[in-house]
C-alpha cells in the first residue's frame, strides 16, 4: 500500500502546543486539550478514510507519558514509546509549503530526516497514546565528537510502539482491523474499558500506581498543563494547513 504524506496531521499536532494557557482540572486533561485532541482524531479518521487505513487508532492523552517525557535524560531508553521533538517555527514554514498527500521522498528532502521522522511517528495508525513536556538537555551524541548538543523545547512520547514500519499500515475499510474494537469516534479503540477523562491513576513501569495530577505542587501542575496545551496547539496547526 502506498502511504500518503499528511502534512495536516503534524501541523495540527504541532500547532496546539503554542499559545494557549490551560487550567488544570481535577481528573484527566483540561477541556481545551480534550477539544484539540478530538480535532486531531477527526483528522486521523479523515486520513484513514482517504487512503483506506483499516487499523487507525484513536490517539489518547496519557499523563504517564507526559510525566516520563518531563523526566527524560540523555541516557533514557524507551521500550514502549518513541520520543518525538516538536518542529521549530522554521520547520512549520517548510511544512506549509508542501502539498497534502505529496511525494514522500520530496517531503523528506524539504523537511529533513528528523522532522519527517516526527510526522511518520505521529500519523502511524498503531500509535495510540501521547504525552508531552518541555525539556532542556545537553547530550553527547554516541560516536560523535565535539561539545554536547542542546535538546531544548517541547517533546512528545508517542506509544505503545517503540519502532514503526510499513507493515503497521493495514489496508481496508477504516475500523475493519481493530484488535480492541471500534470506539465511538469511528477509530480503533485505544482504551476499551476506560474513558480518557476518567483516568486519574496510571501504572508506571514498576507497577506502582501514580496519581500524577495530584502529587505535584500547584505551580508544577500549572506549568505542566500550560506546556501540554502549548504543545497540543502545535499538533493542531499541522492538521489545519
Q: What is the CATH number of the domain that holds 203?
A: 3.40.33
Question: What gap in Å lies between CA 64 and CA 197, rounded to an integer?
Answer: 14
Give the Cα separation of 64 and 73 in Å (integer). 16
Instruction: Please check whether residue 14 lies inside any domain of the structure.
Output: yes
User: What's the CA gap between 213 and 25, in Å, rounded?
Assistant: 9
pLDDT digits (tens, 9 = 90+) for 184-218: 778 999 864 433 333 332 233 333 323 222 233 33
> Comparing C-alpha atoms, which of 154, 11, 17 is closest to residue 96?
11
Q: Is residue 1 part of a domain?
A: no
| Whether residue 139 has pLDDT greater than 80 | yes
Q: Are 24 and 220 in contact (CB under 8 A)?
A: no
**What confidence score (pLDDT) does residue 174 get?**
93
Residue 144 predicted with pLDDT over 50? yes
For residue 2, being part of any structural domain is answered with no
Among the ranges given (35-44, 169-178, 198-207), the one the predictor scored with the smallest mean pLDDT: 198-207
Task: Answer for the pair 13, 51: CB distance below 8 angstroms, yes or no.
Answer: no
Give the per-residue pLDDT at 138: 87
What's the chain's average pLDDT?
Answer: 69
User: How far, CA to CA in Å, does 157 sit from each of 37, 131, 176, 231?
Assistant: 15, 5, 27, 12
DSSP state of 143: T
Higher pLDDT, 53 or 153: 53
Counting the structural domains of the chain, the total is 1
Domain of 17, in residue numbers? 7-240
pTM metric for this prediction: 0.67
Mind listing the pLDDT tens digit for each residue in 82-120?
Answer: 988 876 667 667 766 766 555 666 666 666 666 667 778
Q: Is residue 111 part of a domain?
A: yes
Q: Is residue 186 part of a domain?
A: yes
For residue 30, tell me if it sits in a domain. yes
* Radius of gyration of the CA atoms of the chain, in A: 17
The verdict on residue 122 lying in a domain is yes
Residue bearing the bigger pLDDT, 34 or 202: 34
Task: Indicate whether 154 belongs to any domain.
Answer: yes
Amino acid at each position: 500500500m502506498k502511504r500518503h504524506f499528511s502534512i495536516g496531521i503534524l501541523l495540527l499536532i504541532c500547532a496546539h502546543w503554542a499559545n494557549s494557557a490551560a487550567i488544570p482540572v481535577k481528573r484527566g486533561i483540561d477541556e481545551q486539550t480534550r477539544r484539540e485532541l478530538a480535532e486531531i482524531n477527526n483528522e486521523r479518521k479523515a486520513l484513514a478514510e482517504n487512503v483506506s487505513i483499516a487499523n487507525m487508532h484513536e490517539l489518547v492523552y496519557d499523563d504517564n507519558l507526559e510525566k516520563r517525557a518531563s523526566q527524560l535524560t540523555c541516557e533514557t531508553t524507551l521500550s514502549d514509546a518513541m520520543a518525538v521533538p516538536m518542529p521549530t517555527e522554521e520547520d512549520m514554514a517548510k511544512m506549509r509549503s508542501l502539498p497534502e498527500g505529496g511525494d514522500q521522498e520530496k517531503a523528506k528532502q524539504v523537511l529533513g530526516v528528523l522532522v519527517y521522522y516526527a510526522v511518520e511517528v505521529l500519523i502511524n495508525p498503531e500509535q495510540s497514546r501521547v504525552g508531552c513536556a518541555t525539556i532542556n538537555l545537553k547530550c553527547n551524541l554516541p560516536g560523535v565528537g565535539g561539545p554536547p548538543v542542546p535538546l531544548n523545547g517541547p517533546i512528545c512520547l508517542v506509544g505503545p510502539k517503540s519502532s514503526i514500519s510499513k507493515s503497521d499500515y493495514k489496508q481496508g475499510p477504516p475500523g475493519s482491523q481493530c484488535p480492541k474494537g471500534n470506539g465511538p469516534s469511528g477509530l480503533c479503540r485505544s482504551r476499551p474499558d476506560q474513558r480518557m477523562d476518567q483516568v486519574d491513576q496510571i501504572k508506571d513501569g514498576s507497577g506502582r500506581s501514580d496519581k500524577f495530577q495530584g502529587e505535584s505542587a500547584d505551580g508544577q501542575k500549572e506549568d505542566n498543563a500550560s506546556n501540554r496545551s502549548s504543545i497540543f496547539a502545535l499538533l493542531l496547526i499541522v492538521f489545519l494547513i
